[in-house]
Chain A
Amino acid sequence: MLSVIHCDVAIIGAGGAGLRAAIEVARDYPDINIALLSKVYPMRSHTVAAEGGAAGVVKGEDNFENHFNDTVSGGDWLCDQDAVEFFVHEAPKELTQMEHWGCPWSRTPEGDVAVRPFGGMKVERTWYAADKTGFHMLHTLFQTSLKYPGIKRYDEYYSTAIVEHEGQCYGVTALDMRTGQMRFFRAKSVIIATGGAGRVFPFTTNGAIKTGDGMAMAYRVGVPLKDMEFIQYHPTGLPGTGILITEGSRGEGGILVNKDNYRYLQDYDLGPPDPWPRKKAMELGPRDRLSQAFWHEQRKGNTVKTAFGDAVLLDLRHLGEEKINQRLPMVRELAVSYMSVDPVNEPIPVRPVIHYTMGGIDTDIDAATSVAGLFAAGECACVSINGANRLGSNSLTELLVFGSRAGRNAVQFVNQLKSGVDEEKILAIAQQEVDSVMGLFQRQGSESIPALRNEMNQIMEAGAGIYRSEESLALAVKQIAALKVRFADVDLSDKSNVYNTDLIQALELGSMIDVAEAMAVSAFNRRESRGSHQRLDYVERNDQDYLRHTLATYAANAAPTIDYRDVVITKSQPAERVYGGDSK
């Protein structure tokens, strides 16, 4: 007998976006029944690891147009400008709301919220809570959510599939990890807020849980994945572990040097090096450019060799111990613990590591997808406000702006719903999904989960890394397709019911392979260089043919079909991305 739970709004993912959506619904629509599902307890969500800050215009000398322009040019003009316009206007309101809910924003001596400079931003507008902004935001949201008994939480429930019928969403099937029992959440609307898919790659700042499950779920019911070829490398992660060293360390004045102690970024159109710090120049340039510079330095042999491969050096010594302890205490702790390097005395070895997925579930400005009643927000979604390259500190704000929007629109959808669907049919579809998961237990496979996972990592790193080519991408596409076939024969060693993490890893791997295929095929088809998608064979940006979003649509047992949609341009015509110099 299929176990069914009825609710109005089911939210998958309890990170920043999911919690924000839940609070919006619970606070303003107390009669709405909310089920908040998460495969981990909410405070474990990866929002917790974000460090630098959340952007929102506050300074007198700043304005929405600046934030808009910085974001659009930072995204290499692939951002939908109507969405960016909406986003920058909502940003300060959402961040103020967080402050009311208790978020411990760092302050100026006068007691106002402080803002710090951040990569690609013309004026300081990044609100921060020491160097643990994501942590403080997540805990503020989780603790605030405890005020609302209307939010029913289902912690450690792994969502497996969206139940969709004739273009509408009817809920989600999920595995209760405690018991191994599958349940069907019969919901009138669903919000996916499951985060990105950095674990597709081997070196990443992302935690174990970033496996693109929500992206895969939407993808498999026909929602296109948009702009999947755009995956951001964060320029400063620790070699080996990939642990994030926040951009805030460069915002506070940190510099990047190569093995000759030379600030190499000046050779890549980001200079001159002084005066420093200076916005939108040198180490405060956009992330894609900094990561690309590393790749070139590595080719030239200018990088430092460490036990974990090549790196460059992030030098914070000139900031002094007091400033480091005050503004970057976590950076110091991380470097000391995981690298045995104290940034007060020595520079920290760093290298670009995969950090953020610009692409994701295709949503419009209302967080709605092409399936009625299905919404998405946060890193799993692509609106797109980040375009081809995300500016640091825009995504924490994005969680709030689109999380709350998804919440409101999900409720609106519920309120205008007319009944009249064949419930038997819906239950049958749900049962089918449940059976396919249970089928993993019956199968006697031959492929090992860790082996397939490692292969996927190697394929993506080699074929779809910082710089790509026709050859490397074609190979990646072919290899991922082969991997997909092999995955069908995956072996489950652990066939027990209670907290079967072998099963969870198998399901996560399935999500990752589908997402990786969408990434590789999308990248293969974009024959230009833009933002974080850089090709050695097509080095220029080609607005004529590619000022469009890539849409990858799932095809069972075949590569996704690729389609394009024009980017929404309102005020800002594509121009050259200019950093360094006087940085106007």
Chain B
Amino acid sequence: MKNDVSEETENTPVVRNVQFEILRYNPDQDDEPYYQTYQVPCQEEWVILDAINYIKDNLDRSLSYRWSCHMAVCGSCGLMVNGEATLSCHSFVREMPDKIRIEPLSNFPVARDLIVDMDGFVENLASVKPYIIPAEERGLEDGWYNQSPAQLEKYQQYTQCINCMLCYSACPQVGLNEGFIGPAALALAHRYNQDSRDVGRSAREDVVSSNVGIWECSFVGACSEVCPKHVDPAAAIQQTKIAATADYFKRFLMPWVKPKKSSSLEPGDEK
């Protein structure tokens, strides 16, 4: 007995012909990127990713791009749609005109077609020591840290980052300033600084409160506008600016107060 695969549907899908202009680049044969045009019969509920998959499966096997979860949680599929940084799996064709321009994420080197080089981004994340730096070693037998819902709320928003890099594409300072570690890295630092289990703010300072850290930010705010997870990195950075400034003045006015440090040195931490 066959399981019913092709179930009867109420309506046959409505299809709209949309023209896609996609920026192509293959370093093996191209010195410069160029646009290639495709006509795609788009179904009503499709996202941009569905259209791109259609192109790869039916029109052009050589189109390369990243994707995986199709539910806006893995962060793979960031690209520019009509000049705006967005997730291709979360961007609905029904909200778009009949001509759609697709390009790889701005402010990143293009490796191939819609795939950008993101090694620099991962290094930026790593540079802020994005892990718990506890006040002292805690054994499993001591159980979990007590953390109230209010304490969790203080940093929870900043844990939502899916590392999709849209904020880096939106941020003009990332584009204009080589070395700026960027919104996601700073929001991640803030996430740990705000976590009640962590005392690592002074350990992160070198990078976070530097001229490639928060002080490169001029509060354009575009990062928070494009963030699909409402992390609000702009808020994280401004709050860090205030905290960093307060720390700085405390050091002058109250030099006897030492910043919190971890009693155990973790591998890779500077002293």
Given the known interface contacts A93-B140, A147-B131, the answer about A466 and B76 at a Cβ–Cβ threshold of 8 Å is no
Given contacts A135-B162, A498-B111, A499-B113, contact A147 B267 (CB under 8 A): yes
Q: How far is the CB of A459 from chain B (nearest CB, A)?
A: 10
CB atoms of B3 and A208 under 8 A apart:
no
Known: A149-B268, A536-B1. A499 touches B64 (CB 8 A): yes
* B134 neighbours in A (Cβ, 8 Å): 100
- Chain B residues with CB below 8 A from A130, complex form: 156
**Complex CA–CA separation, A338 to B113 (angstroms):** 27
Docked Cα-Cα span, A498 to B153, in Å, equals 44
Is A105 touching B144 in the complex (CB atoms < 8 A)? yes
The answer on a CB contact under 8 Å between B71 and A338 is: yes
Q: A208 vs B11: C-alpha distance in the bound complex, in angstroms?
A: 28
* Partner of B147 from A111, A310, A465 at Cβ < 8 Å: A111
Complex CA–CA separation, A479 to B244 (angstroms): 65
Check: A290 CB closer than 8 A to any chain B CB: no
B40 at the interface (CB under 8 A from A): no
Contact at B145–A44, with CB atoms within 8 Å? no
Asked if B156 and A104 make an inter-chain contact with CB atoms under 8 angstroms apart, the answer reads yes
Q: Is B242 an interface residue (CB 8 A)?
A: no
B112 adjacent to chain A (CB < 8 Å): yes
Q: Establish whether residues B140 and A309, one from each chain, have CB atoms under 8 Å apart when the complex forms.
A: no
| Given A450-B58, A498-B27, A498-B28, A102 contacting B197 (CB threshold 8 A) | yes
> Which of B122-130, B215-223, B233-241 contacts its partner?
B122-130
| A101 lies within 8 A of B131 (CB) | yes
The answer to whether A307 touches B1, judged by C-beta atoms less than 8 angstroms apart, is: no
Cβ-based interface call for B90 (8 A)? yes
User: How distant is B93 from chain A, measured CB to nearest CB, in Å?
Assistant: 13
* Alpha-carbon separation in the docked complex, A418 to B133 (Å): 39
Q: Contact at A112–B61, with CB atoms within 8 Å?
A: no
Q: Report if B65 contacts A (CB, 8 A).
A: yes
| Contacts A49-B73, A449-B61 given; does A499 touch B111 at CB 8 Å | yes
List, in ascending order, chain A residues with CB within 8 A of B2's CB: 462, 472
Known: A135-B162, A240-B45, A536-B1. A143 touches B130 (CB 8 A): yes
A469 CB–B CB distance under 8 Å: yes
Interface residues of A in 24-43 (CB under 8 A from B): 30, 40-41, 43
Do A461 and B3 touch (CB < 8 A)?
yes
A184 interfacial by beta-carbon distance below 8 Å: no
The interface centre, meaning the residue of B74, B113, B118, B132 with most chain A CB atoms within 10 A of its CB, is: B74
Complex CA distance for A308 and B9, rounded to whole angstroms: 6
B26 at interface (Cβ–Cβ under 8 A)? Answer: yes
**Residues from chain A with Cβ under 8 Å of B28 in the complex:** 496-498
Of B113, B140, B160, B192, which contacts A100 at CB under 8 A? B140
A370 interface contact, C-beta 8 A:
no
Cβ contact within 8 Å between B144 and A96: yes
Q: A44-B75, A132-B73 known; A107 and B65 CB under 8 Å? A: no
Query: Which among B3, B29, B76, B155 is the interface contact of A104 at CB below 8 angstroms?
Result: B155
Residues of A close to B64: CB separation below 8 A? 494, 499-501
Q: Is the CB of B62 within 8 A of A502?
A: yes
- Say if the beta carbon of B31 comes within 8 Å of chain A: no
Please tell me if the beta carbons of B155 and A111 are within 8 angstroms of each other in the complex. no
Taking the closest CB of chain A, its distance from the CB of B129, in whole angstroms, is 8
Q: Is A273 an interface residue (CB 8 A)?
A: no
Query: Which residue of chain A has its CB nearest to the CB of B196?
Result: A111
A40 and B68 contact, Cβ closer than 8 Å, known pairs A462-B5, A502-B62? yes
Do the beta carbons of B5 and A472 come within 8 Å of each other? no
| Contact flags B210-230 to A (C-beta < 8 A → 1, else 0) | 000000000000000000000
Judge if A458 is at the interface, Cβ distance under 8 Å.
Answer: yes
Given contacts A471-B1, A498-B26, A499-B115, contact A207 B143 (CB under 8 A): no
Complex Cα spacing A43 to B229, Å: 15
Q: Assuming A107-B148, A207-B68, is B76 touching A465 (CB within 8 A)?
A: no
A458 to B6, CA, bound (A): 10
- For the complex formed, measure the closest distance between the CB of A357 and the CB atoms of chain B, giving whole angstroms: 17
Contact A241 B70 (CB under 8 A): yes
Interchain CA distance A110-B151 in the complex, whole Å: 11
A43-B74, A97-B140 known; A450+B9 contact, CB < 8 A: no
CB distance from B85 to the nearest CB of A (A): 17
Given A43-B163, A146-B131, A462–B67 Cβ distance below 8 Å?
Answer: no
**B4 interface residue (CB < 8 Å to A):** yes
CB nearest neighbor in B for A101:
B132
Which residues of chain A come closer than 8 Å to B8, judged between CB atoms?
Answer: 305
Say yes or no: is A298 at the interface (Cβ < 8 Å to chain B).
yes
| CB contact between A502 and one of B61, B67, B131, B162 (< 8 Å): that residue | B61
CB proximity of B36 to chain A, nearest CB, Å: 14
Q: What total of A-B pairs shows CB separation below 8 Å?
A: 193
Q: How far is the CB of A238 from chain B (nearest CB, A)?
A: 9
Known: A41-B122, A493-B62, A498-B112. A106 touches B152 (CB 8 A): yes
> Please, how many angstroms separate the alpha-carbon atoms of A218 and B190 in the complex?
42
Determine whether A99 belongs to the interface, using a CB cutoff of 8 Å to chain B.
yes
Interface-centre pick from B3, B76, B111 (highest chain A CB count, 10 A): B3
Please state if B1 and A48 are interface contacts (CB–CB under 8 Å). no
**Interface membership of A578, Cβ < 8 A:** no
Cα–Cα, bound, A390→B266 (Å): 38
Q: If the complex has contacts A96-B143, A461-B3, A500-B64, are A148 and B73 also in contact, measured as CB distance less than 8 A?
A: no
B32 within 8 A of A: no
* Pairwise interchain contact A337-B72, C-beta atoms closer than 8 A: yes
Cβ-defined partner of B131 (8 Å) among A143, A155, A241, A501? A143
Assembled-state Cα–Cα distance A536/B266 (Å): 58
Q: Please measure, in the bound complex, the distance between the C-alpha atom of A139 and the C-alpha atom of B155, giving whole angstroms.
A: 15
**Within the assembled complex, what's the spacing in Å between the Cα atoms of A340 and B68?**
22
A45 to B76, CA, bound (A): 10
Interface presence of B13 (CB below 8 A): yes
A244 at the interface (CB under 8 A from B): yes
Nearest CB on B from A552, distance (A): 22
Is the beta-carbon distance between A472 and B9 smaller than 8 angstroms?
no
When chains A and B are docked, how far (Å) is the Cα of A475 from the Cα of B96?
A: 44
Alpha-carbon gap, A2 to B76, bound state (A): 31
Smallest CB separation, A7 vs chain B (Å): 18
Chain A residues within 8 Å of B63, by CB:
501
Q: Is A334 an interface residue (CB 8 A)?
A: yes
| Proximity bits, B25-43, A CB within 8 Å = 1, else 0 | 0111100000000000000
Residues of B within 8 A of A466 (CB): 3
- Closest chain A CB from B81 CB (angstroms): 16
B148 partner, pick from A101, A111, A155, A243, beta carbons under 8 A: A111
Pairwise interchain contact A100-B74, C-beta atoms closer than 8 A: no
Which residue, B26, B67, B132, B151, has most C-beta atoms of chain A within 10 A?
B132
**Contact A136/B159 with A96-B144, A207-B74 known, Cβ cut-off 8 Å:** yes
Considering the chains assembled together, what is the distance between the CA atoms of A244 and B118 in angstroms?
Answer: 28
A40 with B13: in contact, given A146-B131, A307-B45, A338-B71 (CB under 8 Å)?
Answer: no
Q: How far is the CB of B138 from chain A (nearest CB, A)?
A: 6
Among B62, B111, B130, contact of A146 (Cβ-Cβ < 8 Å)? B130
Pairwise interchain contact A46-B71, C-beta atoms closer than 8 A: no
Q: Which 5 A-B pairs have the closest CB atoms?
A: A493-B61, A465-B3, A207-B68, A450-B57, A499-B112
17 sample A-B contacts, Cβ–Cβ < 8 Å, listed by A number = A44-B69, A49-B74, A102-B197, A105-B144, A107-B152, A111-B148, A143-B130, A207-B69, A243-B70, A305-B10, A307-B9, A307-B45, A308-B9, A465-B3, A466-B3, A501-B63, A502-B62
Having A143-B130, A150-B267, A463-B3, one finds 15 other A-B pairs with CB under 8 Å, namely A43-B163, A49-B71, A101-B131, A102-B131, A111-B151, A143-B131, A146-B131, A147-B266, A147-B267, A295-B3, A497-B28, A499-B64, A499-B115, A501-B64, A502-B61
